[in-house]
């Protein structure tokens, strides 16, 4: 591989952006030989307008990164230079996984969505306070950092300083750009729209870059709530973020962050966070084989307001279970002799005590490609092992994780409050 500026040895090609080529390199002049990202200005077309636009955006990226300074969740700019009439910038390399890969695994829960919004909006609020518009927020430009699982915002190659200009070059990604950005008039809350679209993708599984969301014929706003199950409070926040008219969105990331932070006071999100905590506790204890029995033993302590739909729970079909529950209201001569508490336990426990092993090694390899990738994905989703896991443990871990999500969705539709089920959650991670 070539070496740039007698210092940066190119290791591999990381891909290409709209106007640049990106490489992974190591710094030969540092004792630690740290890895870094080298971005080379490389327009896809050689026509004068494209070249001028590319050079302007490249210089703007350097200036903006210098202006932003050091922020924990923005790659640090090390240096920019010119060699053989080619322009380069060198910045911090972030070890982690792109959010686009994470979005292909499974749909997000409400708790995961709220955590994502808080994470990225904190960083974006800092960027907006500097009067900078990112203009290309999308899953590919967000990395979940390995060391702490925080979201890092990368690729400032499309940034624009906020100024009272009439029009500017149309830069961004289809599906994540709001109407005003498509017209060449981006605003701070154009970034808010993009963040909202990522959240909708996480919740519904619909990639707006490939498939357009249906819209209300009267208002033109997106119709998405029928594809998922979230609280009215979160739905209102997301709908405000993705309004077609920028005047009806949050003005900047700071206002959006305040709205998301208030979701913690709502009862429904609190209920979901409690179940997410229970799920993390279960996944953290997978190596012991005691997670599901321990959780289920707490469930029958009090009588819920409605029968838990045990049958067909994991298949997602609650209608059959509800019909059976209705039919079983008639007294049964056998169960009449069984104490009421034991009857409740026998009805409520089985659905939560076991999870079908619907996955196998071949399925995990098909999804993620290798053992190491499965380990990384498990770690990103809070699954921890006390020792190096075998394939069997990985299969069980992913099976339990998916079953937990399905159980939680039905559970939240059934019980108005976790206290009615006598849930006691103790985190052991």
The catalytic residues are 136
**Cα angle, residue 245 at apex, residues 242 and 249 outer, rounded to 5°:** 50
Mind giving me the DSSP string for 168-229?
----S-TTTS-HHHHTT---HHHHHHHHHHHHHHHHH---TTTSPPPB-TTT--B--GGGS-
- With CA atoms as reference, report the closest residue to 277 among 99, 423, 102: 423
Q: Cα dist. 279→23, 239, 261, 274, 298 in Å?
A: 39, 28, 22, 9, 14
Residue 257 and residue 250: Cα distance in Å, rounded?
A: 9
H or E stretch at 8:
strand 8-16
Residue 171 and residue 186: Cα distance in Å, rounded?
A: 9
- Whether 246 contacts 187, CB under 8 Å: yes
- Whether 63 contacts 154, CB under 8 Å: no
H-type alpha helices, 107-187? 110-129, 179-182
DSSP 8-state assignment for residue 96: E
């Amino acid at each position: 591989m070539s070496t740039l500026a007698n210092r940066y040895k190119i290791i591999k090609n990381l891909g290409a952006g709209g106007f640049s080529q990106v490489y992974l390199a190591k710094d030969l002049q540092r004792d630690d030989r740290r890895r870094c990202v080298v971005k080379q200005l490389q327009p896809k077309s050689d026509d004068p307008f494209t070249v001028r636009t590319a050079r302007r955006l490249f210089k703007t990226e350097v200036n903006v990164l210098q202006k932003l300074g050091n922020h924990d969740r923005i790659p640090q700019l090390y240096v920019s230079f010119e060699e053989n009439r080619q322009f380069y910038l060198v910045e911090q390399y972030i070890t982690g996984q792109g959010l686009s890969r994470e979005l292909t695994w499974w749909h997000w829960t409400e708790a995961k969505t709220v955590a994502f919004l808080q994470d990225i909006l904190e960083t974006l609020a800092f960027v907006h306070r500097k009067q900078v518009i990112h203009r290309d927020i999308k899953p590919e430009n967000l990395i979940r950092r390995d060391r702490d699982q925080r979201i890092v915002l990368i690729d400032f190659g499309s940034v624009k300083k906020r100024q009272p200009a009439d029009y500017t070059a149309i830069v961004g990604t289809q599906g994540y750009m709001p109407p005003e950005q498509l017209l060449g008039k981006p605003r701070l809350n154009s970034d808010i729209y993009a963040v909202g679209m990522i959240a909708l993708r996480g919740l519904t599984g619909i990639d707006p870059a490939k498939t357009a969301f249906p819209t209300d014929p009267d208002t033109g706003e997106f119709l998405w709530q029928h594809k998922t199950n979230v609280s009215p409070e979160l739905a209102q926040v997301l709908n405000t973020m993705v309004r077609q008219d920028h005047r009806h969105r949050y003005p900047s990331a700071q206002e959006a962050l305040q709205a998301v932070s208030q979701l913690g006071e709502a009862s429904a999100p609190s209920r979901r966070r409690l179940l997410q905590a229970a799920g993390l506790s279960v996944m953290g204890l997978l190596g012991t084989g005691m997670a599901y029995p321990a959780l289920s033993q707490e469930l029958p302590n009090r009588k819920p307001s409605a029968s838990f739909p045990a049958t067909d729970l994991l298949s997602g079909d609650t209608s059959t279970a509800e019909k059976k529950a209705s039919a079983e209201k008639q007294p049964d001569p056998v169960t009449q002799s069984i104490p009421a508490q034991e009857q409740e336990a026998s009805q409520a426990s089985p659905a939560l005590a076991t999870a079908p092993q619907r996955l196998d090694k071949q399925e995990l390899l098909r999804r993620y490609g290798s053992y190491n990738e499965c380990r990384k994905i498990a770690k990103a989703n809070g699954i921890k092992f006390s020792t190096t896991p075998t394939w069997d443990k990985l299969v069980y871990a992913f099976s339990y994780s998916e079953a937990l999500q399905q159980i939680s969705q039905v559970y939240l539709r059934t019980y108005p409050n976790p206290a009615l089920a006598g849930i006691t959650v103790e985190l052991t991670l």
